[in-house]
Amino acid sequence: MKLTIFATTDVHGAIYPFNYFKGEKKETGLLKFKYYIENYKKNHPDEIVLTVDNGDLLQGDVWSEYDSVHRDAPLLPAIINDMYDVIGLGNHEFNFGLPFLSDFYKQVNIPVLNSNVDFLHGDLGNLIKKSMIKTIDTKFGPLKIGFLSVVPTQIMKWDKFNLTGRVKVSPMPEAVTKTAEDLKRQGADLIILLSHSGMSAKEDDQVALGENQAMRMALVTSIDGIVLGHTHDLFPHESMMIDDERLNMDEGTFNEVPMVQPGVSASHLGVLKFDLDEDKRLKSASGQLISGESIEDSDDYLLNYEHDHEQVLSYLEETVGYTREALQTYFARVIPSRAVQIVSEAVVWFAEGLEAVKKENLPILGFNSAIKTGRDGVKDFTDIPVGKLTVADTIDLYKHANTTVIIKINGKVLKEWLEWSASSFNQVGASSLIKSNHSRDGFPGYNFDTFFDLDYTFDLSQPARYHSSAHQISDARRLVEVKYKGIEVKDDEEFLVPANNYKVAYAPFLRDAEIVYESSKSIRDILNDFIKREKDFIDKQPMTLIPEGEYQFVTATKGKYHLENLPINHVRDHGDGLSTFQVTL
């Protein structure tokens, strides 16, 4: 018997092969995989073919935004029902809140799984199963394939405001071991783990509450195949720089367990292959990836989804305002960006109109981080030309479904926050000014915050104080000074900060901050309102880096078209969409 399991993960709403930000066709999209899998089934009638998703399917791109706004008639459930045999949860599934998940999954008629989250209220406990066994009739008798799914316990940190008191989360290894044993007792011949957790050899990922534990879960004896996710990596792929003799890149296995991690935004399709004998014993197994760009699509096939595509387009093309300057994030991790500042200005404007804020009579500090700064490739940047701004542009500027939480902090906490941002830079002497944009072993742009209402200086001759996770790694300090309206900030001085629910729950030094106001309104809705009212602002340059000098860094080559009036020069084109640039500080 031959069993093929096609797998997707971290699709993040990339459904139709079209770049809605640029208004042009693109080479990747979930519907291309759907077409490929349907043809594969026709051409391989003797194989057992299943399709699974490993989470972060619902959030991220414009189809996700459409569905969140049109929650009574979302577009994605019909595709899920027609394409998949089973799907698991990712951490971003929780971003829109549990009521949205409940409404959405009521329209999904295939099994939805999660094995380590208990839903304490509502109907999600019935809609989302702990595990399942799919029984397939074969000429050798029934083949029983068990499925289970886990998500990092850190969802309680990342989505604290949506989940506290509403769910209980168990450690992933504990849930995998217990659930796999249950599936074995129920007669499963094979067990497939949907692990919304990446591959990491780091010590802090090997403990019970580690975030990326796929390697640890591959040691559970009853697991026969794993779909990885969460970190947006590729496996098997030469980019997976882990030195472990148990890794076999040729076979796509770890500890002889076949594994696949098919990237992000439908960039790749994962394939788990199993060859079994007549007694349903495993003879061989492997994991491999298929690049989405290598898959041919069909215009005739896409016509089946043309109406959905047109609905999304119509929603996105609504004009919300105009910009007199280009908005781009190619250099947002090096120097302050107007594309980042506009979100900061919007949430400050929103906060200033609230009675709860007015009563506090405290200074309001706006900040923001650039979300699209190349973490997911050379096209993962904001690049909006001068002219009208549409709904699509506001998603481009702030793609996450975060809500606003206004907190009160003192100067001491503020300084730690700034030290966290300062830690995104390498120490003087490194080949690059900025650390890798990778979430697993670098410092992604979404954790680098710029405070636009302050003036502050970082000394990069000092070591970093924080890891990207906001955990302290040294006693060093890079923050030389920080001023508000020209006056040095004191440790006991109080400020209000319009933040987002992710940031407040994520950083350890912010979790005990007093919450002055919590809004259910998304930051993107606030940004839309701000732009519609044509609120203008002055570009600010709050950050100074020392020592002075010339520093190099890498970003997308297209950044060279935005160098006017910037202290940045293009140095070398790498030929892969990336270039080395030099900034003079």
- Mean pLDDT (whole number) for 37-62: 95
Q: Output the pTM of the full model.
A: 0.82
- Token pair belonging to 395: 């998603």
CATH 1.10.1750.10 matches 2-312: no
Q: Residues 143-188: pLDDT tens digits?
A: 999 999 999 999 998 888 889 999 999 999 999 999 999 999 999 9
pLDDT band at 241 (very low <50, low <70, confident <90, very high): confident
Q: What is the mean pLDDT of residues 235-262?
A: 89
Residue ranges, CATH 3.60.21.10, the chain: 2-312
Is the bond preceding 236 in cis, omega lying within 30 degrees of 0? Answer: yes
Predicted pLDDT at 440: 66
Distance CA 227, CA 260 (A): 5
Task: Determine the pLDDT at residue 220.
Answer: 83
For 117-153, what is each residue's pLDDT tens digit?
999 999 999 999 999 999 999 989 999 999 999 999 9
* Residue 546 pLDDT class (50, 70, 90 cuts): very high
pLDDT digits (tens, 9 = 90+) for 368-402: 998 899 988 898 999 999 999 999 999 999 988 78
Q: Determine the Cα–Cα distance for residues 445 and 435; give it in Å rounded to an integer.
A: 10
pLDDT value at residue 203? 77
Q: What is the pLDDT of residues 554-582, one digit of tens each?
A: 999 999 999 999 999 999 999 999 999 99
Please tell me the distance from the alpha carbon of residue 458 to that of residue 413, in angstroms, as a whole number: 16
Q: Which fold has domain 318-584?
A: 5'-nucleotidase;  domain 2 (3.90.780)
Strands of 228-308 (E only): list them: 234-235, 247-248, 253-254, 257-262, 268-276, 282-291
Tokens of 513: 């901050």
Amino acid identity at 52:
V
Strands (E), 341-447: 367-369, 383-384, 387-390, 403-410
Helix, strand and coil content of the chain, in percent to the nearest 5, comes to: 30, 30, 40
356-393 in b/e burial notation, b at 16+ Cβ within 10 A? ebeebeeebbbbbbbbbbbbbbebbbbbbeeeebbbbb
What pLDDT sits at residue 265? Answer: 93
Closest residue by Cα to residue 147 from 196, 112, 123:
112
Sequence-separated (6 or more) residues with CB below 8 Å from residue 579: 554, 555, 556, 557, 559, 560, 570, 571, 572, 573
| Model pLDDT for residues 449-469, shown as the tens digit of each residue | 999 999 999 999 999 999 998
CA distance 540 to 121: 46
Average pLDDT over the chain, rounded to whole?
Answer: 93
- Taking each continuous run of H as one helix and of E as one strand, the counts in the chain are 17, 35
Domain with CATH 3.90.780.10 in the chain: 318-584
